[in-house]
Amino acid sequence: MSLIKDKIDPENLPKHVAIIMDGNGRWAKSRGEQRTFGHKNAIDAVRNAINACNEINIPYLTLYTFSSENWSRPAEEVNTLMNLLVETLLLEAEEIFSKGLRMHVIGNLEILPSLVRDQLLRVMELTKENTKGNLVLAISYGSQSEILNAVKSISEDVKEGKVEVENINEKLFENYLYTKDFPPVDLLIRTSGEIRISNFLLWQIAYAELQFLNVLWPDFTKDIFFQCIVDYQNKERRFGMTGEQIKIQ
């Protein structure tokens, strides 16, 4: 039994946690290995995050799996990541399904290798009726591109008379994003000690709590996740209001 988990208030959980899984390469180099060694040893950390969410009933977990900028990395590393993604999906699909989780993917899937895309679609189809929780993988994802594509789509709909300019607001705009069916992010976690967002869910984290951890991703444990939730619960989320206003709501 985790003592940290016991500190969590089940009535004050974030609905949506997003994680920038950073530090695989540095973890590997610190052990005298190639960067790809770090990626291969990061799977347990992914399981820890998924299982932790599942245990305390957080309904949405989004993992920054592969960014649009990651395509510029060395070909060997990209190929390893793609192969590892397929292998992991093959190994974990049954586990994801048995936990009652539904898997979603956001990003530009058209440029993924067909084997990767087919495997992602297979797991999404397998889990589409699950209702226990939602695992969202951001793959070939970049937030600036997502926002630009939303603007282009709205512009097309305005030209075709489907949308009136005066009706464009935050809610309408969100309906053009990959995440239109998901709640906004309440808590964003980044590992490895880096303090930046890296083009991840820029719109969706507008009022998220941000936590930057001095731990490399392969060392991420369930207790670290639970501590992040405890720290989140110790924050007063004001959404632009004063503390006094929040207390009387």
Instruction: Report whether pLDDT(24) > 70.
Output: yes
Q: How many CB atoms lie within 10 A of CB 245?
A: 11
| pLDDT value of residue 2 | 75
Strands of the sheet containing 133-141, edge to edge, are 101-106, 133-141, 60-67, 16-20, 187-190, 209-212
Instruction: Report whether pLDDT(203) > 60.
Output: yes
Instruction: Report whether pLDDT(1) > 90.
Output: no
Q: Is residue 46 a contact partner of residue 119, using CB atoms and an 8 Å limit?
A: no
| Mean pLDDT computed over 24-46 | 91
Work out the mean pLDDT of the chain and round it to a whole number: 93
CA angle (179, 181, 186) in 5-degree steps: 65
Instruction: Report whether pLDDT(248) > 80.
Output: no
pTM of the shown model: 0.93
| pLDDT value of residue 162 | 97
Sign, Cα dihedral of 201, 203, 208, 214: positive
Active site residue 22: yes
| pLDDT value of residue 152 | 98
| Mean pLDDT computed over 42-46 | 93
Q: Is residue 18 a contact partner of residue 201, using CB atoms and an 8 Å limit?
A: yes
Instruction: Report whether pLDDT(237) > 90.
Output: no
Structure tokens at 35: 């960067």
Q: Among residues 22, 24, 134, 186, which one is catalytic?
A: 22
Instruction: Report whether pLDDT(195) > 60.
Output: yes
Q: Among residues 70, 83, 108, 149, which one is catalytic?
A: 70
> Is residue 81 within a helix (H) or strand (E), and if so which, with residue range?
helix 75-98
> Is residue 156 within a helix (H) or strand (E), and if so which, with residue range?
helix 143-159
Instruction: Report whether pLDDT(90) > 90.
Output: no
| pLDDT value of residue 36 | 84
Q: Out of 20-24, 146-150, 199-203, 240-244, which region has the weakest mean confidence (pLDDT)?
A: 240-244
Instruction: Report whether pLDDT(247) > 60.
Output: no
Active site residue 41: no
